[in-house]
Amino acid sequence: MVDLIKRAKELIESSSVKVVIGYEQGTGNKTRALFVENSEDADKLIFDSRCIQNLAAYITKKEIKEKGKMAVAATLPVMRSIIQLASEFQVTDANILVLGITPESKLIEFGNLAEVEKFVHQYEIEIDVRNKEMLDKLEKMTQPERWQFWIDELAPCFKCYACRAACPMCYCSRCTVDFNQPQWIPVPSTELGNLEWHIMRAIHLTGRCIDCDACYNACPLSIPINLLTKRMLLDAKEHFGGYQPALKGEHLMSTYKPDDKENFIQ
C-alpha cells in the first residue's frame, strides 16, 4: 500500500488531518490498528487480507476525536459503518476523511461522506455461504433444540465485552449493561445472564449492524455471536424491506411506515 503511505504522509505533513487510522503488523501473524500522528509512523502502514478489524470502532472514541480531524483507511465494511455512524450523528464531514480501499484493494479518496455513501450503495450486504448454511441449520431446529444450542454456545462466555469493544456501533457512553439503577442485564456471567446480554446486543444492533463480523473476530472463544446479528439482518430485511446504511436514512427499526408488514404480532 505505497499509495496509502504516501497519502498519509502528505495529509499529516500538511496538517490536513491530525491522525490517520490504519493497520500495522502486530504480534504473530496478526495486524493491529495504527494511529499515525507523524510522517515517520506512516511507513508502518500495511494493508492485506489479514486487515479485517473494523477501524470505525475508533472514530467515536473520545481520545481520537480530541486530536482533531482524522483520516481512516476504510474497507467496505468500515465505510458502511462510517455512513451508519454519520446517520446517527456521531461523525460528520468536518471530522473525517475517508481513504477508501475498494474490494479490489484500490485506494480511493472521497471528498465527502455523500460520495462514500454512493460508493457503498453499489454493494449489497450479503451473508456468506458458510454462515448462511449455519443459519439454515438453526432455522430447521425445533425451538427447544435452538434454545439448547445457544445455551451451550454462550455458556463459556465470561463477558469480557470484546465484542462490544470491537463493534463500531457500540459507541454508547453508557451501555445498557452499565446501567445499574436498575440492573436490567445482570453483570455476572451466568447461563441466563449471558443469553440476556447477547440477545440485548443483537436487538440493539438490528437495523444498524452492517455485518462486518468484528464481534466474532474479537471473541477470544470464537463464539458465533455474529449469527444472532445476521439473523436479525435477515429478519429486518423480511419485515421492513432491506437495509443499506444511508446518511439521511429512515432508520429501519425506528421509522414507522404504513406499508410495514406487521405479521409478527398477529
Partner 1 sequence: MSKIGVFVCHCGENISATVDCAKVAETAGNWDGVTFSVDYKYMCSDPGQSLIKNAITEKGLTGVVVASCSPRMHEPTFRKACAEAGLNPFMCEMANLREHCSWVHEKGEATTEKAIDLVRILVEKVKYNHELTSIKVPVTKTALVIGGGIAGIQASLDIANTGHKVILIEKDPSIGGHMSQLSETFPTLDCSQCILTPRMVEVAQHPNITLYTYAELESLEGFIGNFKAKIRKKSKSIDEKLCTGCAQCTTKCPVKKIPSEFNEGLGKRTAIYVPFPQAVPNKPVIDRKNCTYYIKGKCKVCEIVCPTGAIRFDQEDQIVEVEIGAIVIATGFTVKQPDFFPEYGYGKHADVITGLQFERLASASGPTLGEIRRPSDGKVPEKIVFLACAGSRDPAKGIPYCSKICCMYIAKHAMLYQHKVHGGKSYVFYMDIRAGGKQYEEFVRRAIEDDGVNYIRGRVSKIYEKNGKLIVSGVDTLLNAMPVEIEADMVVLATAGVANEGAEELAQKLHISYDPYKFFAEAHPKLKPVETNTAGIFLAGACQAPRDIPESVAMASGAAVKVAGLFSKDELTREPIIAVVNRQAPPVYSSCVGCFLCVSACPYQAIEKEEIKNRNGEVIKSVAKVNPGLCQGCGTCVAFCRTKSIDIQGYTHEQMYTEVMALLNEY
Which chain residues interact with partner 1 by CB under 8 A?
A: 88-90, 171-176, 179, 181-182, 184, 204, 250-251, 253-256, 258
The arrangement of strands across the sheet holding 96-101 comes to 31-36, 19-25, 70-74, 96-101, 107-109
Contact 116, 83 (CB under 8 A): yes
Beta bridge partners of 97: 71
Q: Residue 237 is which amino acid? A: K
User: Which of 108, 200 has the CB closer to partner 1?
Assistant: 200
The residue count of the chain comes to: 266
As a 3-state breakdown, the chain gives helix, strand, coil percent values, each rounded to 5, of 45, 10, 45
Q: Compute the distance between CA of residue 106 and CA of residue 2 in angstroms, rounded to an integer.
A: 11
Nearer to partner 1, 76 or 177 (CB): 177
Query: In the complex, what is the shortest distance from the CB of residue 90 to partner 1, in angstroms, rounded to a whole number?
Result: 7
What's phi and psi for 19, nearest 5 deg?
-145, 140
Give the span between the Cα atoms of 195 and 156, in whole angstroms.
11
**Cβ-based nearer residue to partner 1, 123 or 184:** 184
> Minimum distance from CB of 120 to partner 1 (Å)?
19
Smallest distance from partner 1 to CB 65, Å = 12
For the CB of residue 182, give the shortest distance to partner 1 in the complex, in Å. 3
- Cα separation, 118 vs 246, in Å, equals 9
Q: Is the backbone peptide bond immediately before 182 cis, with ω within 30 degrees of 0? A: yes
In the bound complex, what is the minimum distance in angstroms from residue 173's beta carbon to partner 1? 6
Complex with partner 1: residue 49 or 254, whichever CB lies closer: 254
Residue 210 half-sphere exposure, CB side, CA atoms within 13 Å? 26
- If the CB atoms of residues 102 and 176 are measured against partner 1, the closer one turns out to be 176
Q: From the CB of 186, what's the least distance to partner 1, in Å?
A: 12
Q: Which is nearer to partner 1, 149 or 171 (CB)?
A: 171
